[in-house]
Structure 1
Amino acid sequence: MAYPDDLLSSGEHVVIHKHPHWKMLLLPVFWLLVVVAAATFLAGLVNEQSWATIAWIALAVVAVVLALWLTITPLLRWRTTHFIVTSERVMYREGVFNRTGLDIPLSRINSVRFQHSLLDRVLGCGTLIIESASDEPLEFDDIPQVEKVHTLLYREVNDNPDDDYRPRTLDERA
């Protein structure tokens, strides 16, 4: 899915667009299973009681609220988080109701590196670290295929024609 073209400047195109890795959804799915299992177990316990209907309604309300809070909210947060590399900048957007964004022009990027643990390597994700003109490096966690993103971003930074530090080619030297 491409990022909306109306947010890009003229001549700018999306090189890569990623959401955080699906491993972020493991805990919400676990909590959904726990909520459903606990609600089902408790509904079975109160089945023989005279006040079972009221208990079932209360259990259903509590289960729906917990499912929304522990499962749907993280799913929406995952879906609305974007890591985008364009031909001119790196963009990071996150948030459902309160959106935050970060743009880093490619010409301001000093270095790009990545790191991932053994589990991240098995799952195919990691942390991308971008050092720019800002004081501290920016870390983007749970980037899928982090090595590929690192390589593409490095290539975009070094192939940028506006970069003052780009080495001249043999044709330009002559």
Structure 2
Amino acid sequence: MVDFVVVDCPSSYNIILGRTTLNAMKAITSTYHLLMRFLTEYGLEGRDRLDFHRAEPTEALEEVILGDGEPEKKVSVGSLLPPSIKDELTQFLRKNRDVFAWAHEDMPGIDPTIMEYHLNVNPNFKPVRQKRRTFAPKRNQAISEEVEKFLKADFIQEVYYPEWLANVVLVKKANGK
């Protein structure tokens, strides 16, 4: 048994469940697929197969170009927004377009105290060097281009004689690249 609070307001969600309830239900959630699977007395509830499909947006999106003569500098806004709010939002975004980073080069010299990645390594364990993987020429070119962008933007620096090696993992973007 679960107690619910019913709220009458527009939302992207049908229901919001906390960790305690999800754990009690033995539920498996996928935010990417916007779905949940859980056991019932009749078996597994949810999709019968594991070939998930990504959910569609609740409304169509409209592209708004923020830069004059720069069509690549665009954002998406909801098409169902009332015209007055859409106009106000568009003006606000255009007025503040200088805070957007459209490429790595737009963010040079970011202070590392703002964000810096550190490995959570137990000093009691000896580092293990992974065997270097080889990639297909197309993937190798994509890796080289990304590394070059990060070096140029001063996001990363080359380290000599590392005690460990972590191989690159390629992940497709939403646009398929």
Q: Same fold (TM over 0.5)?
A: no
TM-score range for the pair, normalised by the shorter chain length: under 0.3
Larger relative contact order, structure 1 or 2 (CA cutoff 8 Å, min sep 6) = 1
Q: TM-score, normalised by structure 1?
A: 0.23
Between Structure 1 and Structure 2, the one with more helix by share is: 1
